[in-house]
Amino acid sequence: AQSVTQLDSQVPVFEEAPVELRCNYSSSVSVYLFWYVQYPNQGLQLLLKYLSGSTLVKGINGFEAEFNKSQTSFHLRKPSVHISDTAEYFCAVSGLGTYKYIFGTGTRLKVLA
């Protein structure tokens, strides 16, 4: 079985500052990892995913994440945030060959002017 922990429920950050949203996972098998973004009153949209290969994954809207197997982490980063990045971000994990994703509890990113 897999589990996901998002360590911060809320992250306030000033516009144009860098941000890191943390995600740790637990699994007894190899995993796929995902980050999703949810804007207010909308569904979830895929930001980026790690399936295999390079541990640094680039996604949409300037976000990137690094898979660290030894730390069992998949932290999301952006070097300079915009007001429009204000949203809730979810980390998700699935075991290889399974269909189910396990989601973290989410991190609310609030970008301040």
Residue placing its CB nearer to another protein in the complex, 23 or 81:
23
Residue placing its CB nearer to another protein in the complex, 70 or 99:
99
* Structural tokens at position 49: 């995913």
Cβ of residue 15: shortest distance to another protein, in angstroms?
26
Cβ of residue 81: shortest distance to another protein, in angstroms?
22
Element (H, E) at 72: none
Q: Kindly state the DSSP code that residue 73 receives in the 8-state scheme.
A: E
Cβ of residue 64: shortest distance to another protein, in angstroms?
16
Which residues are near another protein by CB under 8 A?
Answer: 6, 9, 32, 34, 36, 42-46, 49, 51, 90, 94, 99-106
Ramachandran region of residue 51, left (φ > 0), alpha (ψ -120 to 50) or beta? alpha
Tally the C-alpha atoms within 13 A of residue 69's C-alpha that lie toward its C-beta. 11
Residue placing its CB nearer to another protein in the complex, 102 or 111:
102
- How wide is the angle at C-alpha 92 spanned by C-alphas 52 and 15, nearest 5°? 100
